Structure 1
Amino acid sequence: MSEIAYIRGDATVPSVKGAKVIAHVCNDIGGWGKGFVLALSRRWPEPEAAYRAWHRERASNDFGLGALQLVRVKPDVWVANMIGQRGVRTGSKGVPVRYEAIDTALSRLADRVLELDASVHMPRIGCGLAGGKWSRVEPLVTERLVRRGIAVTVYDHGDG
């Protein structure tokens, strides 16, 4: 069985052939402006615009923890907005990351990725501003994606 591939680089520019999905974790309050989303927005306006519209119209859609939104940015590239974070601040209820929501979103992502016959590319989701631990996220990625035969690459930003 294959495993997650770890490389240094920018998850917004996967250099593999075929269909690609760039997956990342969003919050459940409509905030887009810090962390990995800035790199996405520098490259394409569509993921942010779609996320903001999804949040704005949440009374009539599935926006919420565990939800998934796939946004096509190039003929063979999609961005997966996954709601896996409650709010944006660490407070009395702990860090914003919600592992169960990430697990649900990854499960939904797997179905879509298999339909697209795509590979998945991501930073260490849920571990930046969301405050999560990769030791808890990695098994979810392995269980939901890798075990279903999906190629996953995790990008660690290098220093140049």
Structure 2
Amino acid sequence: METLRTIVGDATNPQAKGPKVIAHICNDLGGWGKGFVLAVSRRRPEPEPAYRRWHRERAGNDFALGAVQLVQVTADIWVANMVAQRGLRTGSGGPPIRYDAVGQCLESVAEHVLARNASVHMPRIGCGLAGGKWERIEPLIDKTLVARDIATTVYDRA
């Protein structure tokens, strides 16, 4: 049985052999310009235009809270753009994170990685600009990924 592994490093440069998915949270407004996405764009240019196109064409696709877009960036690495943040700012409805959408996204990611025998790599998703609490996110990761024996690594910055 896999356990959630936490290391110091760069989630955009996964430390594992074989197929890998870099998972991160996006907002539902089509905005890409702050937080972890900047690091993604510096290393892998493909996810940003794919996400922007997905949002722009949302009337004809599945773009919504809980949806995932997988963008292949190398032969064995995908970036999972997970829509789990409503808007950009904390307001009367609380922080932008939507925990139910995080769970839905992670379920979709699990299906993808199980089909490819891949591992999952991520920062502490939802805990930066989205305003989430790790004590609510970690159990979702355990339930959707770790419980399915999916190798999952969380990267903390040095």
Q: Under a length normalisation based on structure 2, what TM-score does the superposition of the two structures give?
A: 0.99
1:123 equivalent to 2:149? Answer no
* Distance across 2 between alignment mates of 1:151 and 1:16: 9
Q: Deviations over 1:18-63 (max 9, x none)?
A: 0000000000000000000000000111100100000000000000
Residue 27 of structure 2: aligned partner: 27
SS at match of 1:48: helix
Residue 62 of structure 1: aligned partner: 62
Residue 90 of structure 1: aligned partner: 90
The amino acid across from 1:142 in the alignment is D
Residue 53 of structure 2: aligned partner: 53
* Distance across 1 between alignment mates of 2:41 and 2:93: 30
Runs of 5+ unmatched residues, structure 1: none
The amino acid across from 2:65 in the alignment is L
Indicate the RMSD between aligned Cα atoms, in angstroms: 0.6
Runs of 4+ more than 3 Å apart: none
Residue 11 of structure 1: aligned partner: 11
**Count of aligned pairs:** 158
* Distance across 1 between alignment mates of 2:77 and 2:2: 22
Runs of 5+ unmatched residues, structure 2: none
* Distance across 1 between alignment mates of 2:16 and 2:130: 28
Q: Under a length normalisation based on structure 1, what TM-score does the superposition of the two structures give?
A: 0.97
**Residues 38-49 of structure 1: pairs in structure 2 closer than 5 A:** 38-49=38-49
Residue 144 of structure 2: aligned partner: 144
* Distance across 2 between alignment mates of 1:90 and 1:99: 14
Q: Deviations over 1:79-115 (max 9, x none)?
A: 0000000001011111000000000010011001111
The percent identity for this pair of structures is 66
